[in-house]
A and B are shown apart, each in its own frame.
Chain A
Amino acid sequence: GQNIDQPTEMTATEGAIVQINCTYQTSGFNGLFWYQQHAGEAPTFLSYNVLDGLEEKGRFSSFLSRSKGYSYLLLKELQMKDSASYLCAVQDSNYQLIWGAGTKLIIKP
């Protein structure tokens, strides 16, 4: 079967760095997406990885290792507004998106 695993909840301190991991087992691979979703709102796109390595975009970076079926989202200089759920999604061989359950990130002052 197809499966995406990510931690249910994480807590971090304002100004710090946090890494949210995602492991996957899918039928084929055509890219991995990270989305941010604030409570009661729709998800917004953060990043896309299809090749191994690190993609940096401001305070957010995303890493992919296809051989390990692993990705992480790194958030630096955390701000209170970063409190949200972070969703990992993988495109399988049919370009269908398989969604993780999301990681709720709680930022404390």
Chain B
Amino acid sequence: GAVVSQHPSWVICKSGTSVKIECRSLDFQATTMFWYRQFPKQSLMLMATSNEGSKATYEQGVEKDKFLINHASLTLSTLTVTSAHPEDSSFYICSARDGEGSSPLHFGNGTRLTVT
């Protein structure tokens, strides 16, 4: 089945630094990838939709200058958390479909970010 690979699985960084998270579709091409954030005991919150070759679409309340998304190829999207602060500590998960509307989202394994 379709596989989405996300790296790193976890990262600890100091406040003020930037962190890049990679999301790859391993056996299919993904023109669109989705970035989610999940706080403990809460549901998934869509942050942005990453579109190959064009600008990402951000959800309301998500700062595009803080969460930089690049989707340079059909198999790779990156999320960079810039100038991270402790309140950015969360579980970040990317996902992609390997088909149209009836195809399920396949999720990467997630990245647990801790900002100290």
- Measured CB to CB, the residues of A under 8 A from B are 30-31, 33, 40-45, 48, 50, 87, 91, 95, 97, 99-102
User: A99 contacts B43, CB within 8 Å?
Assistant: yes
- Whether the Cβ atoms of B110 and A97 lie closer than 8 Å is no
Q: Which residues of B contact A (CB under 8 A)?
A: 6, 42-44, 46, 91, 93, 101-102, 104-110, 112
Contact status of A41 and B110, CB under 8 A, knowing A87-B44, A100-B43, A101-B43: yes
Flag if B44 contacts A43 (CB, 8 Å). yes
For B6, the chain A residues whose CB sits under 8 A away are: 42
B104 and A95: CB pair below 8 A?
no
Decide if B43 touches A102 in the complex (CB within 8 Å): yes
Residue pair A42, B42 in contact (C-beta under 8 Å): no
Q: Is the CB of A31 within 8 A of B102?
A: yes
Residues on A with beta carbons closer than 8 Å to the beta carbon of B93 = 42-43
Q: A42-B108, A43-B107, A48-B104 are in contact. List 20 more A-B contacts (CB 8 A).
A: A31-B101, A33-B104, A33-B105, A40-B91, A40-B112, A41-B110, A42-B6, A42-B93, A42-B107, A42-B109, A45-B105, A45-B106, A87-B43, A95-B101, A97-B46, A99-B43, A99-B46, A100-B43, A101-B43, A102-B43
Chain B contacts of A30 at CB under 8 A? 101
Q: Which residues of A contact B102 (CB under 8 A)?
A: 31, 48, 50
* Interchain CA distance A102-B41 in the complex, whole Å: 9
The residue that B44 contacts in the complex, of A31, A91, A95, A99, with Cβ under 8 A, is: A99
Is A45 in contact with B101, judged by CB distance below 8 angstroms? Answer: no
A87-B38 Cα distance, complex, nearest whole Å: 13
Complex CA–CA separation, A40 to B6 (angstroms): 14
Please name the residue on chain A nearest to B109 by beta carbon.
A42
Given A42-B110, A43-B44: A97 touches B101 (CB 8 Å cut-off): no
Q: Which residues of chain B come closer than 8 Å to A91, judged between CB atoms?
A: 101
Q: How far is the CA of A30 from the CA of B91 in the complex (A)?
A: 28
